[in-house]
Structure 1
Amino acid sequence: MNINSDFSQKVVLNTSDLDWDSSPVPGVERKYLDRIGDELARASSIVKYSPESSFTEHIHVGGEEIFVLEGTFSDEGGDYPSGTYIRNPPSSKHTPYSQEGCVLFVKLRQFNVQDTSTVKINTATTAWHPGLVPGLSVMPLHEFDGVGTALVHWAPNTMFNPHVHPGGEEILVLKGVFHDEHGSYPTGTWIRSPRYSKHAPFTKSEGALIYVKTGHLHNPL
């Protein structure tokens, strides 16, 4: 199964408009954003756990990256409320579940093999840092070998400088509306911009909170 598998192309999806697909386990559903492979795939997805659902124990062959969007996600290591960022490195394993139900942003099999750190960050209690322009605040989540992941908070009516992303850029809009010269992206929009893409982003009166990943979009095909 190949979905949005040409990483030289820009993709913009409003995840609210996508249908849920069943997983092999009852109570767990997925919205596919990009995917290369069948059940064992290099993939980016929105994943929903119904209340009192669980997934079978599995090994993360190429690592697993999670951002909890709604509810509380759990495994034998603990409970992770909305806003938690998790990295499970290659060869790690767990048996995830959710008592109350949850919605996750999940990226599978996308780690550098040398990136072996486990990361668990509750962004609700983590400090913000000033951004490069007034109105911008940044919360770094992870960086390894030129690939960076962060939350970026945009105050209303903030403008950023035009810039290029040599390694590409991936954005999930968590709150508000994000804008650039190419369009407007409300909450729930996923944007994947290829290597050497450029834009001049800004916000209007709503402001925005976005999840951003850069430097990782070499074409895997």
Structure 2
Amino acid sequence: MSLPNLQDYVRSLRGEDWQPFRPGVTAHWFYREPDGGGAAVLLRYEPGARVAVHEHVGYEHMLVIEGDEYDERGSYPAGSFVINPPGTKHSPGSVGGCVALLIYEKAVRFVDAD
């Protein structure tokens, strides 16, 4: 797969291209390996949405494509690139809504129930 302009790709997605992920957050999966393997996904946060605390079992690479995202360590406007190493925990959210590309080495482990 090759996407010459990720922002244009995101704007071209329609409602049915997104799947429920967590309350206020939908997902557009590029790939997802079975049994907790690697994945690449676009997550779309509605304004005020937040994902429950989870631990990274493998590396997570996150690029904020549009909007804003935050967690316990800071705020990340569009264009921010964040690497969460194995063993880190956080609860990401968005004040005004956002779309972010996440690439997981391994699936995350949720610590708190939604």
Task: Please give the range of the TM-score, normalised by the shorter of the 2 chains.
Answer: 0.7 to 0.9
Q: Distance in 2 between matches of 1:103 and 1:41?
A: 22
Structure having the higher helix fraction is: 2
Partner AA of 1:52 in structure 2: G
Higher relative contact order, chain-length normalized (CA < 8 Å, sep 6+): 2
Structure 1 unaligned residues grouped into runs of 5+ = 1-10, 111-221
- 2:39 corresponds in structure 1 to 43
Q: Which amino acid aligns with 2:28?
A: K
**Residue of structure 2 equivalent to 1:86:** 82
Cα distance in structure 2, aligned partners of 1:43 and 1:21: 15
- What CA distance in whole angstroms lies between the structure 2 residues aligned with 1:27 and 1:67? 19
RMSD (Å), alpha carbons: 1.8
**Aligned counterpart, 1:219:** none
- Return the letter of the residue paired with 1:92: T
Superposition map of 1:1-221 within 5 A: 11-12=1-2, 14-15=9-10, 16-17=12-13, 19-23=17-21, 25-37=22-34, 40-109=36-105
Q: What fraction of aligned residue pairs are identical, expressed as a percent?
A: 37
Q: Post-superposition shift, 1:12?
A: 4.5
Is this contact kept in 2: 1:63–1:92, CA < 8 A?
no
> 1 CA distance for matches of 2:85 and 2:2?
28
Q: Tell me the TM-score normalized by structure 2.
A: 0.78
For structure 2, the 5+ residue unaligned runs are: 4-8, 107-114
2-structure distance, mates of 1:12, 1:81 = 25
Q: CA deviation at 1:91?
A: 1.1
User: Considering only CA atoms, is the larger Rg found in Structure 1 or Structure 2?
Assistant: 1
- TM norm structure 1: 0.42
Decide which structure has greater strand share.
1
Answer whether contact 1:60 1:109 (CA < 8 A) is retained. no
Q: What's the offset of the Cα at 1:37?
A: 2.2
Q: Is the 8 A contact 1:34 1:45 kept in 2?
A: yes
Q: Aligned pair count?
A: 98
Question: Which amino acid letter does the alignment assign opposite residue 30 of structure 1?
Answer: A
